[in-house]
Amino acid sequence: MKYLKTDNSKTTLLIRIMVGIVFFSEGVQKFLFPALRGAGRFESIGLPSPEFLGYFVGGFEVICGLLILIGLFTRYAAIPLITIMIVAISSTKIPILLNDGFWQMMHAARTDFSMLLGSIFLLIRGGGHWSVDRRFFKQ
């Protein structure tokens, strides 16, 4: 139960909105545009089982993005998103670093790093004052 409790910060809502909207949107796009954002993208970077992986990752992004937006099971929802971002950075941004250099990688990874750090923040702090977690699991 202690992992469902959250702090009383009202500004956490801003991080939840940022992380939740981006992941929800990216997840939906994996279903709407599988050749570009889902299976096709995973195939182009050499990940195994791209068809399965596209829908699997997209499903987690949609569900966890929505959970973070409403602040329900925020810490638990952040864990798969952190994993997704670590895989995204290691599979797509590290090759850019090795082939094109630091600044090209930094430019390409700006959203990835923001989503990773935002998700880590939510894992540490929870959903904040305006969250379902706060209403259901009071301190």
- Residue-wise pLDDT tens digits, 10-21: 999 999 999 999
pTM over 0.85: yes
Other beta carbons within 10 angstroms of residue 124's beta carbon come to 10
**Predicted pLDDT of residue 17:** 98
**Which parts of the chain register pLDDT below 70?**
1, 139
**Predicted pLDDT of residue 139:** 56
